[in-house]
Amino acid sequence: MSCSKTTQETFELGPFIASRIWVGLWQLSSNAWGSASAAKIRQGMARHVELGYNAFADHYGSAEILFGQYRETLSEPTSVLGATKWCVFRKTEPSRSVVEAALRERMSRMRTTSVDLLQFHWHNYSDKGYLSALQILQDLQHEGLISAVGLCNFDAIRTDEICTQLGPGFIVSNQVQFSLIDTRPLHGMADVCERHNVKLLTYGTLCGGFLSDKWLHKPEPDLYTGDLTPSQRKYLDVIKVWGSWPLFQSLLAVLRKIGDRHRRSIANIATRWVLDHPFVGAVIIGVRLGVSEHPDENLQVFGFSLSEQDNKDIEAVLELSGGRQMITTIGDCGDEYRRD
């Protein structure tokens, strides 16, 4: 599989060659982000593919169905990668029948005979059943039902354990939060990725849109206002852990200054910073297809590099924040989802 547009940076992920910006579909799971007709959503997918975006991720709820319907219309369906998830939140005995049933449910919803990338999440680390489940997924991969297997919100210790026990090349990715605000992957996860040739697929890179020109020189929003999306409520809390709103405004001002040097947006600079880390495969940018999407602007992430001075200017602000301590205040990657 390869990208159709040379303007896109690409990377290897298992058997695939994928764009370094993925289209995130989690916002299709709820009308709280806004809604559009199924036809408009499929048109939005088509626009992204025409521009070279060849990977779609986070298929929750109806997203699997809508993506499957869209991909069926393509003359070469395999030219577009679909990444879906199996998330285990409750006590589960991962027998062969349970694991295969979960996989085939996703295949049915996506109208495919195999899953491109299955991203696996296991909530309870004290239950080592995740190793058994992954062993069965490895067997199903050998049988041709899965092309690649990744993790979702696993910490560095468990990612290292899984990769060591199941062998090289099986786990190709781990989807975790990573941004200028949340730099936890730099503390341990980066080393694990390098050791096992795992790439991070990062989300939260734009903090729900807060890392954008729209919020420069704006007052801190009310967390409970109806104007904020669910993502923005989440990331406003993250920003408060990171530092104050005035400090966040200082970061936006620095990003705007850097953006002026490169003729790019604040969002472009924030995304470029994440992509410049070698353990990052791709950034997943959530879109509200048919409601709010920025495929042309996001392409501007490519074609330039941050200079040494750019990075020094960014680091000067980050050093004033509590971002480096988030690994202890929040925990490692994914720990925020495992609190009782």
9-13, 302-306, 333-337 — which is least confidently predicted? 333-337
Q: Which two tokens stand for residue 283?
A: 């950034």
User: Taking 70 as the threshold, does the pLDDT of residue 22 lie above it?
Assistant: yes
Beta-carbon contacts of residue 299 (< 8 Å; ≥ 6 apart): 7, 8, 51, 52
pLDDT(253) > 90 = yes
Average pLDDT rounded to a whole number, residues 174-180? 98
Structure tokens at 50: 């025409």
pLDDT tens string 213-230: 999 999 999 888 768 888
Residues present in the chain in total: 340
Report how far residue 258's alpha carbon sits from residue 306's, in angstroms, rounded to the nearest whole number: 8
Work out the angle between the directed axes of helices 129-142 and 156-166 (0-180°, nearest 10).
50
The 3-state secondary structure of 156-212 reads HHHHHHHHHHHCCCCEEEEEEECCCCCCHHHCCHHHHHHHHCCEEEEECCCHHHCCC
* 83: its two tokens: 């990444």
From 74, 92, 160, 81, select the one nearest 115 (Cα to Cα): 81
Three-class HEC string of the chain = CCCCCCCCCEEEECCEEEECEEEECHHHHCHHHCCCCHHHHHHHHHHHHHCCCCEEECCCCCHHHHHHHHHHCCCCHHHCEEEEEEEECCCCCCCHHHHHHHHHHHHHHCCCCCEEEEEEEECCCCCCHHHHHHHHHHHHHHCCCEEEEEEECCCHHHHHHHHHHHCCCCEEEEEEECCCCCCHHHCCHHHHHHHHCCEEEEECCCHHHCCCHHHCCCCCCCCCCCCCCHHHHHHHHHHHHHCCHHHHHHHHHHHHHHHHHHCCCHHHHHHHHHHCCCCEEEEEEECECCCECCHHHHHCCCCCCCCHHHHHHHHHHHCCCCHHHHHHHCCCCCHHHCCC
Are 285 and 56 a contacting pair, CB within 8 Å?
Answer: no
Handedness of CA 301, 304, 307, 309 (dihedral sign): negative
The CATH T-level fold of domain 10-337 is TIM Barrel (3.20.20)
- pLDDT digits over 101-124, tens only? 999 999 999 999 999 999 999 999
Q: Convert the pLDDT of each residue in 150-168 to its tens digit.
A: 999 999 999 999 999 999 9
Instruction: Look up tokens 């939140």; give the residue.
Output: 89
What pLDDT, on the 0 to 100 scale, is given for residue 217?
98
82 bridge partner residues: 56
Distance from C-alpha of 239 to C-alpha of 220, rounded to nearest angstrom: 11
pLDDT at 227: 80
Which residues make Cβ contacts (< 8 Å) with residue 214, sequence separation at least 6? Answer: none
Distances (CA, A) of 117 to 151, 152, 286: 10, 11, 18
| Position 288 pLDDT exceeds 80 | no
Residue 171 is encoded by which pair of tokens? 């786990």
The predicted structure's pLDDT at residue 34: 44
Give the model confidence (pLDDT) of 35-57 as tens digits: 657 788 888 888 889 999 999 99
